Structure 1
């Protein structure tokens, strides 16, 4: 914090410490991480995401350590909200409408999805880890998936990943704050994720999305603090 004494009033004016650089670098570091870790999750998974319940239970029983690791790989996914914000923020000045539409759809849908959907601990893992009755847990999981709030959360989550990241990727490309191919990677990796055949293709698509999010990192790291945000006010 700097201090300045004005001769006329003989009062000390205090300027808070400028932490814009901290937030700028922090967002740059965070941006590619959630999709990168989730991409690795899909790449090391032995089953597809839509595999039957019994098949997933059998795969978990055969290699429980891998599925425990897969849970931890999902933990950084909560950083997707600030990563989406970062992509919208760096594009907001030169592609304001696209950045705004993509940011609202992506951040809003992802926030609803995180709140309404299940966490990283899956029913199939609990069947193996805690010795629960597989048929009873399968019925419970099916009943949960049929709840209206869960279905709404799933829909908003998918819209955030597909159309939200599509718009953010186009905004990043149009804004020219990062190489154009990075914006294209973000748009492609997000929009195609639900349509990828199998867990390996899905994982590769998310790694491509992570490279796209690194475009936001590139823009943030090459931005001056004055372009990132306004300076702190004196008080």
Structure 2
């Protein structure tokens, strides 16, 4: 360019230095580490304090809920932590173990997340119906028919329930094994996740089931252990500034 001339605006590029983007990888890493054990821990508390065993008749559940209305109101909030947080906790385990056991983690995460989302979106369940029956003073006979004859025989409910059980039993078993094989956490944590998740539905009584979920929560804490020890660069790629827009061309006539 000759002295005294100005550069053509059409050929000049944008700023030489783009404003650096804020690095939020640490926020997501720590958030997942905090969330990981909470859903199973909350569900363990729900089972341990529930006044009725799972699988009890609708009438027996209504009777128990009538005698413990305040407790059931609190347990519904505790159970919400499990329902809302389980997909994120599953993702935390998958993210922690994915590099050390990619295939096993992928299979386990897919099955677990499919079951979790199916349960969240589709399963109604008899416990909420029993709670509303007690709270609103609804007819027990009519609500029993709704729970036993309508909801339980609904094909969508049956398929969703099956997917949820498969997600808990098989999905968490595979994720526990993946956490163990990845060696990002102590081996006993991966084993706890595999055993606690897969055996929970088959344990007798709500106390034993709650204890099984405490074991599973300890396994989920293995993801917390791995994520908290992980560097941000190992957690994810850094933020990347968007490419500058190409300068518009000017055509002279």
TM class by shorter chain equals over 0.9
Distance 2:165 2:131 in 1: 24
Distance 1:119 1:160 in 2: 17
How far is 1:53 from its partner? 1.2
Partner in structure 2 of residue 28 of structure 1: 33
1:201 correspondence with 2:205: no
Partner in structure 1 of residue 59 of structure 2: 54
Which stretches in structure 2 are left out of the alignment for 5+ residues?
1-12, 243-253
Partner in structure 2 of residue 109 of structure 1: 115
Q: Conserved in 2, the CA contact under 8 Å of 1:109 and 1:156?
A: yes
Distance 2:199 2:99 in 1: 27
Partner in structure 2 of residue 4 of structure 1: none
Question: Residue 149 of structure 1: which of 156, 165, 171 is its match?
Answer: 156
Q: TM-score, normalised by structure 2?
A: 0.87
Distance 1:23 1:32 in 2: 15
How far is 1:11 from its partner? 2.1
Partner in structure 2 of residue 127 of structure 1: 133
Deviation >6 Å, runs of 4+? none
Compute the RMSD of aligned alpha carbons: 1.5
Which stretches in structure 1 are left out of the alignment for 5+ residues?
1-7
Partner in structure 2 of residue 218 of structure 1: 225
- Aligned pair count reads 228
Q: Conserved in 1, the CA contact under 8 Å of 2:61 and 2:127?
A: no
Distance 1:220 1:119 in 2: 34
How far is 1:145 from its partner? 1.5
Distance 2:67 2:100 in 1: 52
How far is 1:124 from its partner? 1.2
Partner in structure 2 of residue 45 of structure 1: 50
